[in-house]
Amino acid sequence: MKHITLILASVAVLSVAGCRNAQKPIELGPNPFVTHIYTADPSAHVWEDGRLYVYPSHDVAPPRGCDLMDGYHVFSTDDMVNWTDHGEILHSSQVPWGRKDGGFMWAPDCAYKDGTYYFYFPHPSGDDWNNTWKVGIATSKEPAANFTVQGYLDLGEDTFAMIDPCVFVDDDGQAYFYYGGGGRCVAAKLKDNMIELAEPLRPMEGLRDFHEATWVHKRDGLYYISYADNHIMPDGSQQNRLNYAVSTSPYGPWEYKGIYLGPTGCDTSHGSIVEYKGEWFAFYHNKDLSGMGNLRSICVDKLYYNEDGTIKMVEQTR
Ligand code: FUB
């Protein structure tokens, strides 16, 4: 009898220990999760301090297209519910080579290497804004403060729609730079200094109906590229969706897989996919806060994969 009691007691201890190790699923708060300013184009990363940081662009009211977007705030969390606004990390007036009227601080991204955070932001250098884009680089020793503009990437002469930089750092530490706008998506390795290309840009093959908003992530050894398409609604309005394709290489060629985020109400769509505390999340923007497509707000929902690695449609929660 004593023996049986002992066995039962050990089973009980094991199952309590098992429970302790299993992580409780994260419960998300309401969307949009930033409501005191307008935000768009969220690039999410988890850095070494264990927090999740979001680098969005900042829509300005009253909107004039996307012309007046003038600077970047950074947000972070450690529970996906309570978010800290770290304030403005960069303003167009701090960009020495930027266009004199400012604005046009469009979708950014951030990368980390060897103790430095590299913030990549698209900004035009002239009045002919869509033909004078540059991808600026600001650096800091901190993820959300004290960024200083270092210059811009030399991406060649063809600067039309040179927007939406995305930097993916692979498991071996090699960084890949992507940009995509106006239907073109290209990529190249970055040098170790993270501010120069290591090779010529090459086109990303296999993407279907690519518009802009490139994001690259990796899961179980497979590379995923996601991007906005040119989707038109039955009523004739533009409402882009987020599509994705996969490859065994960060350069592609890419195998198109479909749409993972439907229309959000905005004409543009732009998002990122990131793993945090054992779960996957899709960041995107909608217009719920303002009712206006150019006054956008960042949102997050859970992202689930099928057994075969394909992505399930994201449920957009409110
Ligand atoms: O926010 C300005 C631009 O709108 C971004 O660069 C595009 O991706 C689109 O979201």
Residue 23, pLDDT score: 81
- The residue type of 265 is G
Look at residue 49 and tell me whether its pLDDT is greater than 80.
Answer: yes
The CA 276 to ligand 1 mean position distance, Å, reads 25
Nearest-CA residue for ligand 1 atom 3 is 106
* Whether 142 contacts 117, CB under 8 Å: yes
- Catalytic-residue membership of 109: no
Per-residue pLDDT averaged across 75-99, rounded? 98
Residue 299 forms beta bridges with which residues? 284
- Catalytic-residue membership of 235: no
Q: Is residue 318 part of a domain?
A: no
What percentage of the chain reaches a pLDDT higher than 70? 93
pLDDT category of residue 5 using cuts at 50, 70 and 90: very low
Q: Is residue 309 part of a domain?
A: no
CATH number at residue 115: 2.115.10.20
pLDDT category of residue 158 using cuts at 50, 70 and 90: confident
Q: Please report, for residues 139, 178, 284, the alpha-carbon distance to residue 213 in angstroms, rounded to integers and kept in the order given.
A: 22, 10, 11
Residue 22, pLDDT score: 67
Look at residue 296 and tell me whether its pLDDT is greater than 80.
Answer: yes
Residues with CB under 6 A from ligand 1: 40-41, 57, 66, 106-107, 163-164, 212-213, 268, 270
Per-residue pLDDT reduced to its tens digit, 258-269: 999 999 999 999
Look at residue 21 and tell me whether its pLDDT is greater than 60.
Answer: no
Q: Which domain holds residue 23?
A: 2-303
Per-residue pLDDT averaged across 202-217, rounded? 98
Q: Is residue 215 part of a domain?
A: yes
- The residue type of 121 is F
The CA 268 to ligand 1 mean position distance, Å, reads 7
Look at residue 232 and tell me whether its pLDDT is greater than 70.
Answer: yes
Q: Rg for the chain (alpha carbons), in Å?
A: 21
> What is the average pLDDT score of the chain?
93
Q: Is residue 178 part of a domain?
A: yes
> Sign (positive/negative) of CA torsion 141, 146, 152, 155?
positive
Give me the catalytic one of 59, 70, 212, 229: 212
* Whether 135 contacts 121, CB under 8 Å: yes
Q: Is it true that the peptide bond before 253 is cis, omega within 30 degrees of 0?
A: yes
Per-residue pLDDT averaged across 275-283, rounded? 98
Look at residue 41 and tell me whether its pLDDT is greater than 60.
Answer: yes
Structure-block tokens of residue 197: 């290309």
pLDDT category of residue 69 using cuts at 50, 70 and 90: very high
Q: How many domains does the chain have?
A: 1
pLDDT category of residue 20 using cuts at 50, 70 and 90: very low
Q: Is residue 312 part of a domain?
A: no
Residue 16, pLDDT score: 41
Residue 214, pLDDT score: 98
Residue 19, pLDDT score: 43
Q: Is residue 164 part of a domain?
A: yes
Residue 173, pLDDT score: 98
pLDDT category of residue 236 using cuts at 50, 70 and 90: very high
